Amino acid sequence: MEALASPALGDVFSHPFMRYALLAGTAVAVAAGLVGYFLVLRAQIFTADALSHVAFTGALAALAAGLDARVGLFAVTVLVAVAMGVLGRRARPDDVVVGGVFAWILGLGVFFLTLYTTRRSGGANGQAGVSVLFGSILGLSGRDAVVSAAVALAVGAAVLAVARPLLFASIDDAVAATEGVPVRLLGYAFLVLVGVTAAEATQVVGALLILGLLAAPAGTAMRVTARPLRALAISVGIAVASVWIGLVTSYLVPAVPPSFAILAVATAAYVVTVAIPAHRRAIG
């Protein structure tokens, strides 16, 4: 209690829960920074938004069925990601389709939440739902953190592996298709990666807040530079820095939830680039 009452910067790493949070958070930030860049480039942020909400339903469905939340998370988000691709043109879903599907899926999430709170844990009072929505990064166990990190790094590696053709297909899918790039297949693969990222990040920053880690660093990077590789690097850098600064802030100021601190940093980065380069452009 003493340590919590007057936390010092020096012993951030002395607590295992902080080490786990930093490990999982960093890995998720790397994946989110990479995936986010392509999401913004492909104007598919809304799809990611929908998938992160789907993750909520997946987790609660698994809890209600008495399974590990992670199983439901990954299975449902990846499935819905593919389904949305099927419904859209060239594996780029239409916004009405996305919206309609996820409005209903969220409704189902509420159903499972009620089922879970009434059947399984009498007095939990929505705690499970709230922690799925807003994340519980400080509650990760060592095993959770390692699994999260492994999955996130795999996602990051996969994105980098397909980065070149994906970039081409995202910027001009018609030309890419005539050049022999498998545009549809890439579209699906990318949706699956987004699904996995959303599911993964749900445990860290929560289903509702992952969008910020996807959109803000990537949006910032795209304002800073038009060059793809540099933008990818900046996007990852901002995402990781947000997680670190956010976690340490919330450690030093316990009243601030970690999810809020992380997103506040990411948003601040975006606001700064909106404010400054516009000014510079006006002069130059």
The verdict on 54 binding other proteins (CB under 8 A) reads no
* Residue 107 interacts with other proteins (CB under 8 A): yes or no: yes
Backbone angles phi, psi at 207, to 5 degrees: -60, -35
Q: Does 255 bind other proteins (CB under 8 A)?
A: yes
Residue closer to other proteins, measured from CB, 154 or 267 = 267
190 CB-near residues (< 8 Å, 6+ apart):
38, 42, 91, 162, 166
Contact 148, 29 (CB under 8 A): no
Distance (Å, whole) CA 216 – CA 86: 28
Judged by CB under 8 A, the residue of 12, 45, 146, 177 near other proteins is 45
By CB under 8 A, residue 118 contacts other proteins: yes
Q: Least distance from C-beta 215 to other proteins, angstroms? A: 3
Read off the tokens for 199: 């599911």
Among 80, 208, 240, 247, binds other proteins (CB under 8 A): 208
Q: 192: closest CA among 116, 95, 83?
A: 83
Q: Is 274 in the site for other proteins (CB under 8 A)?
A: yes
Beta bridge partners of 92: 89
Torsion of CA 155, 166, 98, 240, to 10 degrees: 40
CA 162, 135, 150, 55 dihedral sign is: negative
Rule CB under 8 A: is residue 85 a binding residue for other proteins?
A: no
Decide: is 129 part of the binding site for other proteins (CB under 8 A): yes
Contact positions with other proteins (CB under 8 A) in 140-199: none
> Contact positions toward other proteins, by CB under 8 A?
40-41, 43-46, 48-49, 53, 95-96, 98-104, 106-108, 110-111, 113-115, 118, 125-127, 129-130, 133-134, 206, 208-216, 218-219, 222, 255-257, 259-260, 262-264, 266-267, 270, 274, 278
